[in-house]
Structure 1
Amino acid sequence: MTPEPIQKLSRRGIAVEIAAFVGFALLAKYGLSLIFWRYAGPVSLLLTLALLTLDMRGRGLRWSAMGLIPLPGWKAKLMVLPKAGVTLLAFAIVVALVTIVGPAIGLAFLAKESADIADRWGAVAGSLPHFLLWIGIVWSAAAFGEEMFFRGYLITRLQALFPAGRVGAMLAVLLSALIFGYGHFYYQGWRGAFVTGGIGLAFGTMFLLFRRNLWPLILLHGVIDTLTFTAIFMRWK
């Protein structure tokens, strides 16, 4: 699938643009992590999206060109649910392959969860203010933010950078997934990087199969993370 061009730039110009926004996101996260590392990822991503939105607006572009497509009528809105269900199946398969099959074939590091995860989210258990704070982060920076940046923006722009056709589409999904996985390494370690990278592959593939429709991914991402934090808050094992 070849995306419609969203701006008249050479491939070198597109590469510079992508590197600039990805670089800003990573550098901002590093800088903010020195101040409040628990929230460095969400805040840096929202800052990146704000700058990206301003840049797009200056060029007469909208997020509808990168996945936040209009859903006219009830049929289009209701179709988000089965598409989210298909994405959930892909999500489950990827997570099972990494966390169950991986250790079973000797990749022991995939069985070890980083201690920083508990340190980052431990305050949520039994604390309503922390729970509500993270639910707000889930729907803003994770569900909308990560899907808009890593799937909507990155895959769309990488497709414009790589040759048209299936190979270019596969490279776009793969590279965006690698960046997505690396973005979670700082607190989830190698296991988390592989899990989130795999999720990036699954979500990126669905993004293209759904003709660059972000809504099923946003819905599923938000629901999964909400259930995860609910389990932490309720101290469910």
Structure 2
Amino acid sequence: MSQSKNGASTKSPANYNRLTALRDLIAVVSVLVIVKQSLLPTTQLYAGPASTLSAMIVGSFLLHRKGLAWSDLGLQWPQSWPKTLGMTLLTMAFFLVCTQLMALVADLLFEDIGTSDRFSHIEGNLGAYLLIMALVWTHGSFFEELLFRAFIINHTSEVLGGGLRSDIVALIISSAFFGYRHAYYQGWHGALVTGAGGFAFGVFYLWFGRRNIMPLILAHGVFNTLGQTFRYLGIED
């Protein structure tokens, strides 16, 4: 805390930035939770997408108010598509390692209920499949990566003071929240596995995602596309 010329105390720039980051973080997380919980009694299918769309609108406004954009958090057009695709494959491999290892632990603690009946209507239903594909590449990959990795990790790290230690804590918090977001239809077994997937994406976000988050969006979208395609075809994934 510093003193102004008239003797009144003022916030230092560092403290002001941390308080602003905390305010914006609380705003986006609150939208994610409140919108989703408000809609769950009515619709399990669209509660998540509605909450991420709402949070994207709020997050975009908050970034704009600070003179920033999603491009400052990693949403860049790739300079090299071969490199981006290579990083996408590496991300997918690490995701599989993390989720399969966590599945071994989760199997010891909780029953695996899959995705309950949330997507049961997709099997053999082309219209429902095409609609879910639209959600996969908006809510399920684009929005979730920008919110849970770019926005939440960056703002949590800034609240904690920045640096590697703050990044690691932010990564863990973001991963736990990401897993919790999926517990309502996957159970706690699925929440642990999904949280491990969020951890995998978060590690790669800290590595290269702040410069180019596209590999994470592509990897997330491919996994979701495969899962929903298997359901449409009646194949156990």
Using the size of structure 2 for normalisation, the TM-score is 0.88
Q: CA deviation at 1:10?
A: 3.2
1:217 maps to 216
**Could you tell me which of 86, 89, 102 is aligned with 2:90?**
86
Q: C-alpha deviations, 1:78-106, integer Å up to 9, x for none?
A: 21111111111111111111223543xxx
Matched, 1:231 2:235: no
Listed as ranges, the matches of 1:32-181 within 5 Å are 32-72=39-79, 76-103=80-107, 107-109=108-110, 111-114=111-114, 117-181=115-179
Alpha-carbon separation, structure 1, partners of 2:234 and 2:99: 22
Moved over 6 A (4+): none
Alpha-carbon separation, structure 2, partners of 1:166 and 1:51: 27
Number of aligned residues: 222
Gaps of 5+ in 1: 1-6
Aligned AA (1:164): G
Q: 1:120 is paired with a residue of what secondary structure?
A: coil
Structure 1 residues 89 and 224 mapped into 2: Cα distance closer, same or farther (>3 Å)? same
Listed as ranges, the matches of 1:202-213 within 5 Å are 202-212=200-210, 213=212
By percentage of residues, which structure has more helix? 1
Q: Which has the larger radius of gyration?
A: 2
Query: CA RMSD for the aligned pairs?
Result: 1.8
Q: C-alpha deviations, 1:5-40, integer Å up to 9, x for none?
A: xx9943233222211210111010011112222210
Alpha-carbon separation, structure 1, partners of 2:15 and 2:71: 17
Alpha-carbon separation, structure 2, partners of 1:58 and 1:23: 18
Q: CA deviation at 1:165?
A: 2.6
Q: Percent identity?
A: 33
Aligned AA (2:156): L
**8 Å CA contact 2:106, 2:192 repeated in 1:** no
Q: CA deviation at 1:189?
A: 1.1
Q: CA deviation at 1:68?
A: 0.1
Aligned AA (1:113): I
Gaps of 5+ in 2: 1-13
Q: 2:162 is paired with a residue of what secondary structure?
A: coil
Using the size of structure 1 for normalisation, the TM-score is 0.88
Alpha-carbon separation, structure 1, partners of 2:105 and 2:141: 27
